[in-house]
Structure 1
Amino acid sequence: MDEEARMDLPHELMIQILLRLPVKSLIRFKCVSKSWFSLISDTNFANSHFQITHTPRVLFISTSTCETRSIDFESSLNDDVSVSASLNLDFLLPESYLNLEIKGSCRGFIFLHCYPNKYLWNPSTGFHKQIPFSPFGSSLYAEYFYGFGYDPSTDDYLLVSMLIDPVTNISSQLEFFSLRGNTWKEIEIEGSHFRYSNPIEDEQPKPGLLFNEAIHWLAYRHDSRLLRDVIVVFDLMERKLFDMDLPYEFDHQLDYCGLWVFGEFLSLWAKDCYIDTIEIWVMKEYKMPSSWTKTHVLSFDSMPTDYFSPLCCTKSGDIIETDGDTGLVKSDDKGQLLEHLSFHNDSHGSHVAIYTESLISLPCDGEQA
C-alpha cells in the first residue's frame, strides 16, 4: 500500500483493518512507517487486537532440540498453511533442553521452566524475560504445583508455585512472583485445611489449569488420617487458596484424570483403562460442585495410541488431544478418529501447550530475544 492510498483511507477504518490481521503480519507492518510502528507498538492497540482476534494455537517444542511448531487447531492438522515453524528459543542453552518443561500459558505468554531457570516467552513476538530466583530458600529437591495467570484487577501476571515437602509429601508453603511488582511473595500454608499432596506417584505434578482468573490443580487433601480427591484453587485476584470437591459419583484414580476447559466450562476427564472409555464432566456453575454433570462417555477404540490427554476443543466441538509422543489427534465428540499427525521425529517426545497469538507486553522491562 503506497503513501497516497494510505492517506485516502480514514484513520479509524485503517485501525479496524489492522486490528483484524495476524500478529506475524503486524510485526512486518511496523516497518511501513513511523506512525504504523507507533500504532502497532501501542499497549492499547495490543490489548484491543488480543480481544478481537483471539487466535489460539497449539505449540510443540521438541524435547531434545527445542525445534518448535505452532499449529492452528481450527484448521486441518494436515494443512501446511496452518503450521508455522522456527519460533525463536535461542535464549535457552542447548545443554538445558532436556530439562525444559512448560508450566503454563496466559495471554500469549508461555511459562518455561528450564531447571533451574524460569522464563516467560511470547512465541508470536520473540519477547522473553527470565524470572529471578525466589529468595525463600526452597529445597532443591522439592516438588511444586506450578501455575501462571493474569489478574485483570491489577493488570498483573503471577507465577505461582506451591511447595510439596520432600519428606512428608505434603504442601508447606505457597509463593508467587508478581511481574508488575517484580518481586516474590510468600503465603504460609497453616493448619490442616491446606494440606495437599501430589496424586501421581513418582511424577512431577501437572501444571495448573488457568480458568476464570484462578489456577486449578488436582490433588489429595489430607483431613486427619483421610485422603480426599479435590481440586485445589488459587484465586489470582484475591490471592487466596481454597479447594472444590469432585463430582459425588466420580470414582476414578487421579493418575488417569486431568483438568481442561471444554467449551466454556471447567471440565474433568477420566480414563477407564479396563473398558477403554473416557468420561467427561463439566462444572455447569463455577464453584458449585453440585453442578458437576457427566456430558460424554467416549469410546476410543479407533485411536492410534492408548494415551489420552485432551488440550482443547474446536468451535465445532471436535476434541484435540496429544498422542503422548510428538503429534496431535483430532476426534469428534463421539470419540471417532478424524485426524492424526506427528510434527517431530524425536525419540524423547515433545512439550505441548495451548497459547493465543498476542502482541501484548509484560507490565515491566524485559529482555528481547
Structure 2
Amino acid sequence: MVANATLPEELILQIVSRATVKTVGRCRCVSTVWRSLFSDPQFAKSHFQVSPKHQALIFLRDEKLKRVDFDLSNTASFEKESLVVRDLKAPFGHTWLRFLRSCNGLVALADFGQFLGKEESLFIWNPSTGFLKKLPSRRSNEKFIFGFGCASSSDEYKLLVGAKIFSFKTNSWKPIEMPPSCRRFDRGYGVLCRDALYWRPLYPVQGQDLYAFNLEKEEFSIMKLPEAFQTGRANSYSVIRDHRVTCDGCLFVMDETPVWDGGCAVEYHREFWVMREYGNSDSWTRSFGVKIPCPKQSGLRSSPLNFGAISVMETSAFVRNEAKEEEQKLMSTTYYRYEEENPHMYMIESGSCQKVVYEESLYCLA
C-alpha cells in the first residue's frame, strides 16, 4: 500500500476549478499551500471560465441588503417554487448605497454620503468572498453617469463615474470627454457587453439610439437601435424599458407598448430585440414578445408593473417588478406565456430599484 500518495498539482487545479466558490473557500482552509494555490489570480480567472455559473440578485430594502439565488439553467422550477430571500451582511453602510453594476462577480457600488455632509465613497465588492476595495476620492460631485467593466485585451478593469474614469492598473482617476447628451441617459447605469458600456436615452423618441463607451479606447459612439424603433413608434407610447446582455452574450433591448381601451391601458406588450452580430446595427432581430394584462385600475398615468430584465434566453426571459414593495421571506414568481409565439417569461417581485445581478466568482482587485 502506497502511503502519502498525492495528486499532481495540475490535476488538483483542474478538479477544484470546477467546484463552487463556497467549496474553493473550504479548500483554502486545508493548508497554506492550498490557500496560496487557490488564491492565485490566474486560478480565479480559470475558475470563472469553467465552473458552473451561479447567479444571484442583491437588492436593498429598508436599508437592509437582501439576496436571492436562482438557477437560470432550470427556469421551469420558477413555476413551482418560490425563491428564498436571505439577509446579506456587508462591511459598509447602506443608507445612501447605490449599485453601479457588476462585472465578473465584482460589484461596483457607491455611498453618496454628501447628502449627510459626508464624503462620497466608492467600492468594489465581491459578495461571494467578502473582498472589498475602497477607491481614492475622485474630487468631483458629478455623478450623472456610471459604468463598470473590464477591457479584455488589456485585462484592465475601469470604473466610470461622472466625467472621470478610474483605472485599477494605475489606481488613479483621469478626466474624459463626455458627449453633450450624456445627462439624458436613463438612470445613468451603463450595461457591459464585450468591451463597451451602453446607455439608453431617458426619454426615447424617434431617431434616438444607444450610446456606447469603448473601455479600451475610452471613446463614446452611437449604436443604432432596430429600424422598427426609428419609424412609426414616435406616437405609439412605446418605451425602451431596459437593455442588457443575453445568456449568449448578445446585446438586447426590451420594448414596452401599452394597448388602450377607453383611455385605460388594458395590457402591455413586451418585445425583446437581440443584436445577433455584435457591433452590426443591421443584425437587430425581434426575438419574442409577451402580452401582460393590466389591473383594472391602471390608467393613463399609472403603470401596473415596473419591469427590469434579469436574464434573457432565446425564447424566455427572467424579469423583476420593482413596483411592489413589501417585506417577504419568499419571493414568488409570476409566469406568462404568449400562446401565439410560445415564449415564456418569469417575473419576480423584487420591490426595489437599488439592485444588482452578479455571477459568483473568486476575483479580487489589488
Q: TM-score, normalised by structure 2?
A: 0.77
1:361 lines up with 2:353 in the alignment: no
Q: In structure 2, what is the equivalent of residue 166 of structure 1?
A: none
Backbone CA RMSD of aligned residues: 3.2
1:270 lines up with 2:255 in the alignment: yes
Asked if structure 1 preserves the Cα contact closer than 8 Å seen for 2:147 and 2:197, the reply is: yes
Q: Distance in 2 between matches of 1:249 and 1:26?
A: 48
Q: Distance in 2 between matches of 1:54 and 1:333?
A: 28
Q: Which amino acid aligns with 1:276?
A: Y
Q: Distance in 2 between matches of 1:254 and 1:351?
A: 24
Q: In structure 2, what is the equivalent of residue 238 of structure 1?
A: 217
* Deviation sequence 1:29-55 (CA, Å, 0-9, x none): 211112211111111111110110152
> What is the correspondence of 1:93-172 to structure 2 with a 5 Å cutoff?
93=93, 97-115=94-112, 116-135=120-139, 137=140, 140=141, 142-162=142-162
Asked if structure 1 preserves the Cα contact closer than 8 Å seen for 2:149 and 2:159, the reply is: yes
1:259 lines up with 2:243 in the alignment: yes
Asked if structure 1 preserves the Cα contact closer than 8 Å seen for 2:334 and 2:348, the reply is: no
1:288 lines up with 2:272 in the alignment: no
* Deviation sequence 1:124-163 (CA, Å, 0-9, x none): 100111122213x4xx4x551211000122221111134x
Unaligned runs of 5+ in 2: 113-119, 260-266, 296-303, 326-330
1:186 lines up with 2:178 in the alignment: no
Q: Distance in 1 between matches of 2:51 and 2:294?
A: 34
Q: In structure 2, what is the equivalent of residue 209 of structure 1?
A: 191
1:67 lines up with 2:65 in the alignment: yes
* Deviation sequence 1:303-362 (CA, Å, 0-9, x none): 9x5232211135x8531111214657464674877766557xxxx736322211111121
Q: Which amino acid aligns with 2:312?
A: C
Q: Which amino acid aligns with 2:254?
A: W
Asked if structure 2 preserves the Cα contact closer than 8 Å seen for 1:175 and 1:186, the reply is: yes
1:299 lines up with 2:283 in the alignment: no
Q: Distance in 2 between matches of 1:215 and 1:186?
A: 17
Q: Which amino acid aligns with 1:118?
A: L
- Distance change in 2, residues 1:338/1:228 (3 Å): closer
Asked if structure 2 preserves the Cα contact closer than 8 Å seen for 1:318 and 1:331, the reply is: no
Q: Distance in 1 between matches of 2:146 and 2:180?
A: 16
Asked if structure 2 preserves the Cα contact closer than 8 Å seen for 1:220 and 1:227, the reply is: no
Q: Which amino acid aligns with 1:130?
A: K
Q: Distance in 1 between matches of 2:40 and 2:246?
A: 33
Asked if structure 2 preserves the Cα contact closer than 8 Å seen for 1:220 and 1:229, the reply is: no
Tell me which of 337, 349, 352 is aligned to 2:355. 352
Asked if structure 2 preserves the Cα contact closer than 8 Å seen for 1:257 and 1:271, the reply is: yes
Q: In structure 2, what is the equivalent of residue 50 of structure 1?
A: 48
Q: Distance in 2 between matches of 1:248 and 1:57?
A: 33
Q: Distance in 2 between matches of 1:25 and 1:161?
A: 35
Q: Distance in 2 between matches of 1:30 and 1:79?
A: 34
Asked if structure 2 preserves the Cα contact closer than 8 Å seen for 1:279 and 1:297, the reply is: yes
* Deviation sequence 1:51-75 (CA, Å, 0-9, x none): 1015241222233232321412325
Asked if structure 2 preserves the Cα contact closer than 8 Å seen for 1:103 and 1:113, the reply is: yes
Q: Distance in 1 between matches of 2:157 and 2:246?
A: 24
Q: Distance in 2 between matches of 1:271 and 1:254?
A: 5
Q: Distance in 2 between matches of 1:340 and 1:292?
A: 25
Q: In structure 2, what is the equivalent of residue 88 of structure 1?
A: 89
Q: In structure 2, what is the equivalent of residue 171 of structure 1?
A: none
Asked if structure 2 preserves the Cα contact closer than 8 Å seen for 1:269 and 1:279, the reply is: yes
Task: Give the CA deviation at 1:272.
Answer: 0.9
Q: Distance in 2 between matches of 1:4 and 1:339?
A: 54
- Distance change in 2, residues 1:175/1:341 (3 Å): closer
Q: Distance in 1 between matches of 2:343 and 2:225?
A: 27
Q: Distance in 2 between matches of 1:211 and 1:152?
A: 11
Unaligned runs of 5+ in 1: 163-173, 365-369
* Deviation sequence 1:102-140 (CA, Å, 0-9, x none): 1110011111122122111001100111122213x4xx4
Q: Distance in 1 between matches of 2:309 and 2:29?
A: 40
